[in-house]
Structure 1
Amino acid sequence: MKHPYSPGRVLCALHFTLTVFLLVRGRPKFLWFRPLSPEKLMDAIAQLGVCFLKLAQVLATRADFFPLEYLDKLKTIHDQVSPMNAEEYEKVFARAFPDPSCFSFFDSAPLASASIGQVHEARLQSGERVAVKLRRQGVDRLVEKDIRLLRGILWLAQPLFSRLTRNSLEAVISEFSDMIRRETDMLSECENLEQFRKRFVKSDVTLPEAYRELTSSDALVMSFIDGVRIDDKEAIGAMGIDGEKLISKLVVFYMEQMLIAGFFHADPHPGNLLVQKGGRLALLDFGMVKRLSNATRIAMIEVVKAANERDFELYILACKRLGVVAADAPDDKMTEFAERIFDIFGDARLSASSMRDIAFTTLASMRDLPFKIPQEVVYVMRVSSLIEGLGTTFVDNFNGVKDVLPVLKSNLTRALGAEAGLFPTIGQELAGLPLTMRRAKTVFNDLAEQNLHVKLSRETLDLLEGRIRNMMRPICQGGLFILAAFLVVGMELPWKNEIAVLLFAVGALRIVIGLK
């Protein structure tokens, strides 16, 4: 493999990033750079390795970033690479298990091999069948170097992007960097798995059990789980399981994770979801797990509720609270856009290809609308895209509006915390009343002592930032003209006084008009 900072690899990474920029902006070229073709982009991703492969998987969820022919290619990316060679495998195994006597059997041939690690079947001395995930040699160091490379290229390219696009890409890179760092640590994955088992103990989903005493940063040992992949339609049909009900069960489980617990598995691709006898789901690979703040979780519930009621004005307001639409976005245009998208995906008569073609035409016509990606929502969008993709295994024109929204609607009261009924909910609120009163007392005390701090919402901060930027732009431009006027006065030029007066007048006028 090339050195992470070799000229050829850096140039390849730059071409990858500029391709993303050109596609997002809809521009044919920048200087002498033209966007890579879909096929060459895939080759570049394969050549660049783990970080860029994972990043491409995240970017593939943005239908408003890429043309259809690129999205189709990006969605075929699978995190499957050749296994470690014998020398690397032996080094990693020896570091992870200095005393291998804990195993009565360990299969050196991996069951699956991905960019971060590979999974082996083994058996403990006590007889339990286990799966062992070994981290690839040096992958953690490579990830750190690639993150620095990505941030450096993005920093250089900052002037080329609009504010909202730049903020969205920065959010993607930032969230991606945090996630992939955790994903390369097997101890972090072990903690995620243990948290999942505690939080979703009552869910009708099989989760592996971690053996913490045998786990390290280099290896995760967990119970072995059998099942068929969720995208194996033929095998699932042979088991007598209804595929549509299976997807509904998956949607409900993710509703519990995101809207109730605020803690979700962020990588539900077909290899991580198995179906067992009786239609029970099994979930694997807990390297990518995301926590949501309460504010984000509530904003997501508001989005679902408004979408279900087809209240498009409320829907756009909820999207602004969630941060996926800029606070200063025109409500009328955004409402029109939402209504058109819902009409397209709510029409059960349209085929999947027809829905997609019409949706892309609509997205292209609304390309300049101020959408953005807040950091917390990056992996929510990825999960939503993956689940829609799984749904098409069983329903050709499966989508979030027509198929997912009715399932969420029937479970919305649970997300709102009313699953226990009216009186228990009132009881919970009354139990929290003393704490609420103490908080109110604190607010009044701070107000009396002139020590009250006000926390502005994210959308208000975005709006203020935009207005300050719009106000500062003419001031800076006018200031440059006035500075140029003073410089001209000190130069030996004919007509310098007249030129200086003209520059000063233009600068002053620019500031006055800008501040009106």
Structure 2
Amino acid sequence: MVTRFQRYRQIADVLVKYGFGILVEEVIPGGERLRGFRKPPEEKRSVYERIRLAIEELGPTYVKFGQIMSTRRELLPPELIVELQMLQDRVAPVPFRDIRPVIKKYCPNLEDCFDIIEEEPVAAASLSQVHRAVTKEGRIIALKVQRPGIVDLIETDLLILQSLVTRMDSIFPDLRVYNLRGMVDEFSAQIRRELDFTQDGMNAERLARNMHDVPCVKIPRIYWQISGPCLLAMDYVEGVRIDDVEAIRALGLFPEEVADIGFSAYVQQIFVDGFFHGDPHPGNLLVTDQGEIAFLDYGIVGVLRPERRRVFVDLLLAMTRTDVAGVITALGRLEVHISPADLDAVKDDLYLVLLDYREMKLERVNFAVAIRGLTDTLRRYHIRVPSTLMLMMKVIVMVMDIGTRLDPQFNFDQQIRPYLIEIAAQQRLSPDNVTGAVRSLVNAAEGLLAIPGNVNETLKTLSEGTVTIELENRDLNEIVDVIDRTSDKIIVGLVVAAIVVGSSLVLRIADLPVPGYVTILATAGYVVAVIVGFYAVYSALRYSRGLRR
């Protein structure tokens, strides 16, 4: 098992190799000591290409992270997106002697389960490799086997990634707008799901149920009796890659028909079922000699709740109609926050994007232009978007690319609009919507009927005098202090007035025989009263000026 320190050193060496030594010093703890050499070799490749090469050399965790980030067009420059889409998830296969113990965890005696297991894998990737086998019943199956030790390596990498983004947030505050920590947390959850092959199997079965009535779509059957978290057994599918036009024609099939099948399948998955295959690169879509499209690799799937599907339909319809207000409304319903200060500028940019899309010649219309324009606008204004929306847009763009490769006349706009209009109408009148509307009416009626009873109960409580009113004032202490100062001044005023009145009475009767000291006291009382009076007036004036300030 690789320790965190060893892994930090490996990461530092790779980054320096591709010219990112400054990043090592700034972000990696002890980066100055970890750097193997000060000056990297001369680089003539672009920075984005070097990022891709570094990611590929860093291994499976970073490759997967890069592949997921390739969907975030609203965050990353287009040049980097292109490079990330080129990430290769191919590695040297693990020797079968190391793979055998993993298979034996689920089938202790291999001879009882299989007639043959081919030791040479038919495919090898960073998380797993696939071996073809023949069961005792004569079925040809594929065994997807998890690479030994991969879980420990990925968990170590995830800890390092979380540490790195924390340091980057503190060192580069401008990056906080991209929510790097949130992206790493989301990626951590995603790759842990991919490491659990039982989840893959469950996704495959759900997709098979949804696609059961869709013609020419094939989802391999899962064999649970010899499957588990580290091994997935399924039907082996023979076929050619969906982007291999010549091989499809060699099977006696028409690529244009294959494009229509794939398009219809994805429309059904996204907008009807709300559960779609999220990684439609050509290696995961095979065309069989029966003209079926087989979907492989179910680690990345998208899930759309019914209310989200309705909003996505409205969003795409608004884009095909070049309706900027409709696009902004749909984004708002998806809880995409656009700063009021940027709203007009965003509308102007979206209008230009949709105008460019609408004014393209019909035979050159490509809906990907509108989608990329939308995501570029979101990126320009640092607008955060739900990851499900970006995954859906990535899938649509990839499906369009495959469609145009199979059929140069494939027109997404003309194909998708009738589907969207029909789906929107069905959704508006769907049983769920009707039930929700009826429930809302019933709740409103119950609320209206409850009003007289509530009013009567309130009046009864008031008449019984059992109402308790609680007042909360954070400035209550200040109010008490003001009242205390005011009462003190009133008391002083009353005392002064009493002294003045008493002294006046004494002086008025001065012609009567009274002791001399009484007159002196009366005069002294006058003097004291005058002094106290002047002081009270001075204090009042000073306090009022302080309030005005």
Same fold (TM over 0.5): yes
What is the match of residue 511 of structure 2?
Answer: none
1:247 aligns with 2:255: no
Q: Could you say which residue in structure 2 is the equivalent of 1:307?
A: 319
Cα 1:390–1:5 change in 2 (3 A) is farther
| Residue pair 2:311, 2:334 contacting (<8 A) in 1 also | yes
Report SS of the residue matched to 1:416: helix
Query: 2:56, 2:88 within 8 Å by CA — same for their partners in 1?
Result: no
Report the counterpart of residue 54 of structure 2 in structure 1: 44
Does the CA-based 8 Å contact 2:259-2:407 persist in structure 1? no
The one-letter amino acid of 1:88's match is D
Contact 2:169 2:176 in 1 (8 A): no
User: 2:228 — aligned with what?
Assistant: 216
Q: Please show how residues 10-29 of structure 1 align to structure 2 within 5 Å.
A: 10-11=11-12
Q: CA deviation at 1:263?
A: 1.1
Contact 1:275 1:282 survives alignment (8 Å) = yes
Correspondence 1:411 to 2:419 = yes
Matched, 1:127 2:138: yes
Change (3 A) 1:214 1:63: same
Is the counterpart of residue 90 in structure 1 residue 100 in structure 2? yes
* Cα distance in structure 2, aligned partners of 1:41 and 1:285: 26
In the alignment, is the contact (CA less than 8 A) between 2:67 and 2:84 conserved in 1? yes
Q: Does the 8 Å CA contact 1:117/1:136 hold for their aligned counterparts?
A: yes
Q: 1:150 to 1:361 in 2, by over 3 A?
A: same
Aligned length: 431
Give how far 1:183 is off.
0.8
Q: Residues of 2 paired with 1:134 and 1:247: CA distance? A: 32
CA deviation map 1:102-140 (0-9, x unaligned): 111111111111111111111110111111110111222
Which runs of no fewer than 5 residues in structure 2 stay unpaired? 24-31, 33-37, 456-548
Q: Deviations over 1:425-470 (max 9, x none)?
A: 48776666664455546777999989xxxxxxxxxxxxxxxxxxxx
Aligned to 2:284: 272
Q: Secondary structure at the match of 2:201?
A: helix
With over 3 angstroms needed to count, the CA separation of the structure-2 counterparts of 1:297 and 1:123, relative to structure 1, is same
Q: Deviations over 1:161-210 (max 9, x none)?
A: 5587323x444333322221111111111111121222221122111111
**1:277 to partner: Cα distance:** 3.4
Matched, 1:55 2:65: yes
Is 1:172–1:375's contact at 8 Å kept on the other side of the alignment?
no
3-state SS of 1:393 partner: helix
The 5 A counterparts of 1:424-435 are: 425=429, 435=439
Contact 1:269 1:386 in 2 (8 A): yes
- Residue of structure 1 in register with 2:86 after alignment: 76
Comparing 245-254 with 201-210, greater Cα deviation is found at 245-254
Q: Residue 233 and residue 134 in structure 1: after superposition, are their counterparts in 2 closer, same or farther (change >3 A)?
A: same
Q: In the alignment, which residue of structure 2 is the partner of 1:198?
A: 209
Per the alignment, residue 489 of structure 1 pairs with none
Cα deviation, 1:269-320, whole Å, max 9, x if unaligned, reads 1111011235321111112223223332222112012123221111122123
3-state DSSP of counterpart to 2:406: coil
SS of 2:129's partner is: strand
Deviation per CA, 1:328-369, whole angstroms, max 9, x where unpaired? 46333222222322344452479799x98x998998798642
- The aligned counterpart of 1:473 is none
Secondary structure at the counterpart of residue 298 of structure 2: coil
| 8 A Cα contact 1:83 1:110, kept in partner | yes
Inter-partner Cα distance in structure 2 for 1:418 and 1:360: 29
Unaligned runs of 5+ residues in structure 1 are 23-30, 451-511
Alpha-carbon distance, 1:413 to partner:
4.2
Between the aligned partners of 1:432 and 1:323, the Cα distance in structure 2 is: 21
Preserved CA contact (<8 Å) 2:71 2:391: no
1:481-508 deviation digits (Å, cap 9, x = unpaired):
xxxxxxxxxxxxxxxxxxxxxxxxxxxx
Stretch moving more, 266-275 or 156-165: 156-165
Q: CA deviation at 1:229?
A: 0.7
The answer (yes or no) to whether the contact 1:256–1:415 under 8 Å persists in 2 is no
Q: Which residue of 2 is the match for residue 379 of structure 1?
A: 391
CA distance, structure 2, for counterparts of residue 431 and residue 365 of structure 1: 38
CA distance in 2, matches of 1:318, 1:359: 14
Computed over aligned residues only, the root mean square deviation of the Cα atoms, in angstroms, reads 4.1
Deviations 1:373-432 (A, max 9, x none): 32333432432343233234235697xxxx33332211124533628xx9xx48776666
Amino acid at match of 1:74: L
* CA deviation after TM superposition for structure 1 residue 265, in Å: 1.1
Alignment of 1:295-444 (within 5 A): 295-324=307-336, 326=338, 328=340, 330-346=342-358, 347-348=360-361, 368-394=380-406, 403-416=411-424, 418=426, 425=429, 435-436=439-440, 439-440=443-444
With over 3 angstroms needed to count, the CA separation of the structure-2 counterparts of 1:320 and 1:219, relative to structure 1, is same
- Distance (Å, rounded) in 1 between the aligned partners of 2:444 and 2:253: 53
Structure 1, 234-243 or 97-106: larger mean CA deviation: 234-243
Per-residue deviation, residues 20-60 of structure 1 (Å, max 9, x unmatched)? x99xxxxxxxx999998233222311222111101111222
Question: Using a 3 Å threshold, how does the CA distance of structure 1 residues 257 and 112 change in structure 2: closer, same or farther?
Answer: same
**What is the aligned partner in structure 2 of residue 8 from structure 1?**
9
TM-score (normalised: structure 1):
0.72
CA distance in 1, matches of 2:195, 2:339: 36
Q: What is the letter of the counterpart of residue 200 of structure 1?
A: M
Give the residue type in structure 2 aligned to 1:186: F
* Distance (Å, rounded) in 2 between the aligned partners of 1:128 and 1:181: 31
* 1:99 counterpart = 2:100: no
- What letter is aligned with 2:262? L
Question: Mean alpha-carbon deviation: is it higher for 170-179 or for 60-69?
Answer: 60-69
Q: Give 3-state SS (helix, strand or coil) of 1:408's partner.
A: helix
Q: Closer, same or farther in 2 for the Cα pair 1:375/1:71, shift >3 Å? A: closer
